[in-house]
Each structure stands twice: as C-alpha cells, then as structure tokens.
Amino acid sequence: MKWSRYNIVVKKRDFLIFNTVTGGLLEFDKTEFYEILKIRKNPNLLNNCKYKDELIENNVFVKNDEYIINKKVFSTFKDRLNSETLSLTIVPTMQCNLACSYCFQDENTHFKKTRVMSNVTVNNLLNFIKSYEGIKYIYIIWFGGEPTLAFNVIETITKRILKETKVYLFSELITNGYSLSKKMIDLLPQLNIIKLQITLDGSKDTHNRRRYDKNKKGTFSKILQNINKVVKCHPKILIAVRVNIDKTNQNEYIHVYNLFKNQKSNIVVYPGFIEDYSSTTCNSVIDDCIINKENRYSFLIEQNKKYGLFKDNLLPEYTEQSCIARTNKGWAIDEKGNLYKCLANIGDLAYSIGNINDVPIIKNEDLLSEFLTGYDYLRNQECLTCESFPICDGGCPFLLIKSKGNKKLYNRCHISKGHYKELISIFTENY
C-alpha cells in the first residue's frame, strides 16, 4: 500500500485529509497525523495502525493509483459511447420575444434570418432519430431563441416520436417563461416535459433592466406569475430558476434565492455564469459581462460566507461524466437542420458538422473528430496525474478547440484546483 496522490492535507486545529476519489474527509489530531506520516514513509506500519480500515476505505492508502486512472478512463469512455440514450438539443425557432441586454443573438446574422422549423426538416429529424437503432431513451432539450414561439413544432415532434418509435422520451424546456400560456402549461406532462429552466436575473428592478421585451417593457412579474402557475398545476415538474451572473449583478442572486427558498415544490435556484463562447462579445462592456473561473470561485465563496449558500457543494465530487459534445449520440440541431456538437455553436455555421436535410448528413468529419477526441484530458499525462483528475471533466471541448488547447487562452482545470485548503476549511466551518 502507498499514500495516494489524490490526498489533500489541510492543517487547522487538527489535521484534515480529503481524498478526491472517495470524497472522504478524515480528521486527526497532531499525534494521530504524525503516525500517519510515518506510515506514508514506511507503508508496512499500516498493518498495526488502528485507523487502517478507515484509511484504506477512504483511499488515503492504495495499492496503486493507476487503477483509479484506468477505472475512470474506462468508465468515461463507456459513458461517451452509451448505446442506449440519444441526447438532442432541438431549436424549433431562433425567434425571441425578449431583447436581453447581454444576448449574443443580436450580433449573429443567422438569427436575423431565423424561421420556424419546416415540415421537411421535422420529417428529416424523425428519420435522423430513427436511424439510431437500439436506443432505449431519448432526452430532448428544447432550446432557442424562445422555443415556446414554436410550441406547435414541439407538439408535432414529440407526438411523432411517441407514435413512431418505441423509446422512452423525456424532455426539458429552456424558456424565458414570458409566453407560457395556460394551454402550454396544461400540455407539459403530455409532452413528457419533466423540467423547465426559466431565468430571473435578480430583484424585479434589476431583472427588468436586463431582460425586457421588444418594447423595453419589464418581464419579471409575468414570468413569476407563470412559474407559480406551473407549480400549482404540475408540482412534480422540476423548475430550475437560473440567475445569469456577471460582474454587475452578483449581489442580486440572494434576492432570487430568497424568493423561492420557502417554496414547498420542486424549484431549485442556481447561478448561470455568463461566459464568452462565441467570437462575438456581449452587448454590454465585456469586462462587466464575462465571468471567468476565479470570478466564479469568488462568487461561490462570498455567497457561502454571507448567506450560508452552496455549503453542500463546496467539496467537489468524483465524476465519470462527459460533456454531451464528447458523446457519439449527442447533438444540437437548429431550426434549419444544421447539426452541432455544442449548443453554444448554434447559428455559427463554421462549427456545423452537417445538416439533417442533406445526404450525407455529416459533412465535416474532421471537426466531429475534434469534438469527440481533440485535446482530451483522458489522453493528457498532466491531467491524468493531477490531484484533481478524479473530480474533473476535462473542461469545455469547444473552448479547447477554439483556444487550440492553449492554457493562456483557456484554463480547462476544475474550479476547485488551487483552492482545496480554503474549501475544506470553509466546509468544516459550515458543519
């Protein structure tokens, strides 16, 4: 047995050992810890240690760290090659009824020429889905634009999938919530929609300055009314309330959190950090708009210290999951039938893999290969031997491609890296 490279040691009043594989956090006094240090130098002493079982169970001492690498690499590839699930982000239209101050769409000519998905594209979408023989599940994210502006397309596609295939269908609707009519709300369960994502950007005044309709009218009150209608009609549908965070509204998150914290329903509030995924910039000053990883970390720590938020999320957890862009059955499809691996690319034809209306569908196999395997942390020796490897997902595939793997242009590392000691200290103070 030997000391695992995935151990993090923090000295407070006592000594804490956190293992990034198991998530175990062990506490020892000075005498106990010095005994463990002796075992680290001479592993044969482990057999006589009264904490032997605890230390082995939490991977503090392991036979070999290589088995952890091999297990995660195998399981991650297995997840990427999942033969049972087809994951689709479908854009029925890129039209939108809002004019948000930070929206990227106004600068993209693709969106100015947008339309609703045609019957021909719908037919070819169904053929595309049916081409995946052997799948058992389809998970659809309805995206836009504002997908409720083409709700009839959502109905058509959903009903045809249920009628023409034998798969289990689950879907999520990402909507601004402004146009949710009673008819739409009533139909949500019939369309197998199990989750809504709706955005509120702070207090009423702040939200209305950022998310207004085409006539500059505020949208907060109507969106909140529609959220309450969904909760009342369908308490089993999960509502994820996203707060888009940038440097100008970081202090507003708590307002939205407090708005729903006493709700006895399936409502969760979470921060969505505004990042620059495109070659364009935000419509406001970019330094105010963009949140980098250090900004995100500072926000999470500040919210915890001030309000006790995120205390269950301070310590990172082991993961074998990959971004949908890395999987062989994950696609984003716009209203014109263009295929992408990343929803952040929708509308940017430079990152289109092909089109479901064409034969053959796949036109850019080089780009597809780059998304699936390019700059992969599972083939990067520095990543494989990093103490954060067990809890890291390797970073954003698109930003790795865009930066060509240049660390100075894009930091792929987990947000916790370099902050473990502070995170562990704060975690112990919370409990």
Mean pLDDT of 382-394: 95
Label residue 337 left, alpha or beta by phi (over 0 means left) and psi (-120 to 50 means alpha): left
Q: Indicate if the pLDDT at residue 282 is higher than 50.
A: no
Boundary (domain end) residue, out of 25, 46, 64: 64
User: Does residue 153 share a domain with residue 56?
Assistant: no
Average pLDDT over residues 9-24: 94
Please indicate, yes or no, whether residues 85 and 231 belong to a single structural domain of this protein. yes
Residue that finishes a domain, picked among 45, 64, 83: 64
What's 354's domain CATH number? 3.20.20.70
- Same domain as 78, residue 34: no
Are 39 and 54 part of one and the same domain?
A: yes
168 shares its domain with 179: yes
Instruction: Provide mean pLDDT across the span 111-120.
Output: 80
Q: What is the pLDDT of residue 285?
A: 37
The pLDDT of residue 105 is: 57
Inform me whether the pLDDT recorded for 212 exceeds 50.
yes
The pTM is what?
Answer: 0.92
Locate tokens 């019957």: which residue? 119
**Which range is least confidently modeled, 59-68, 106-115, 403-412?**
106-115
State the total domains in the chain. Answer: 2
The least confident of 107-111, 187-191, 347-351, 354-358 is: 107-111
Domain span at 9:
2-64
| SS3 state of residue 388 | coil
H or E segment to which residue 265 belongs: none
Pairs from 114-119 (Cβ < 8 Å, separation ≥ 24): 114/145, 114/335, 115/335, 115/336, 116/92, 116/149, 116/150, 116/153, 116/335, 117/91, 117/92, 117/93, 117/150, 117/153, 117/335, 117/336, 117/337
Do 55 and 188 reside in the same domain of the chain?
A: no
**Which range, of 102-106, 251-255, 282-286, 377-381, averages the lowest pLDDT?**
282-286
Under the banding of pLDDT at 50, 70 and 90, the label for residue 284 is very low
Rounded Cα gap, residues 117 and 114, in angstroms: 9
Domain boundary among the residues 64, 85, 111 is at 64
pLDDT of residue 351: 97
Q: Are residues 377 and 391 in the same domain?
A: yes
Q: Which residue has the tokens 């969505």?
A: 272
Same domain, residue pair 95 and 150: yes
- What lies within 8 Å, CB to CB, of 361 at 6+ separation is 128, 339, 354, 355
* Residue 56: pLDDT over 70: yes
pLDDT over 60 (residue 107): no
The whole-angstrom separation of Cα 85 and Cα 74 is 18
Residue 214, pLDDT > 60, answer yes
Quote the pLDDT of residue 277. Answer: 59
Give yes or no: residues 28 and 120 share one domain.
no
Q: Are residues 244 and 130 in the same domain?
A: yes
Q: Are 271 and 290 in contact (CB under 8 A)?
A: no
166 and 262 co-located in one domain: yes
427 and 353 share one domain? yes
Average pLDDT rounded to a whole number, residues 126-153: 96
